[in-house]
Amino acid sequence: MAHQESGSLTMPIDPQYETVIGLEVHSQLRTKSKIFCGCPNKFGAEANTQICPVCAGFPGVLPVMNREMVNMAIKTGLAINGQIRKLSVFPEELLLP
């Protein structure tokens, strides 16, 4: 096993593994409504005026993906020569608190 020095640290490198580094990029798209409900997405509005049971994460609600957001995200991905997945799955437990 080889060693690579990085500053004052020495880390073992196992040649059977390849280092793969991924990036997770977050952005804010200028949609008219929020990502999972029809509430307006207007910055600067009075507190608690742009909320519904879905975006509040109430039990039993059914989030629906914002089509405008999906189209904008795909266009952004294409503009940066990214790979667009044909299927994306969002587990509900990750969407709601």
Residues that bind Zn ion (CB under 5 A): 37, 39, 52, 54-55
- How near is the Cβ of 56 to Zn ion at its closest, in Å? 7
Which of residues 37 and 73 has its CB atom nearest to Zn ion in the complex?
37
Q: Count CA atoms within 13 Å of residue 6 on its CB side.
A: 7
Nearer to Zn ion, 37 or 69 (CB): 37
Rg (CA), the chain: 20
CB of 44 to Zn ion, least distance (A): 17
82: which 2 tokens? Answer: 């990214």
Tokens 């039990």 appear where? 59
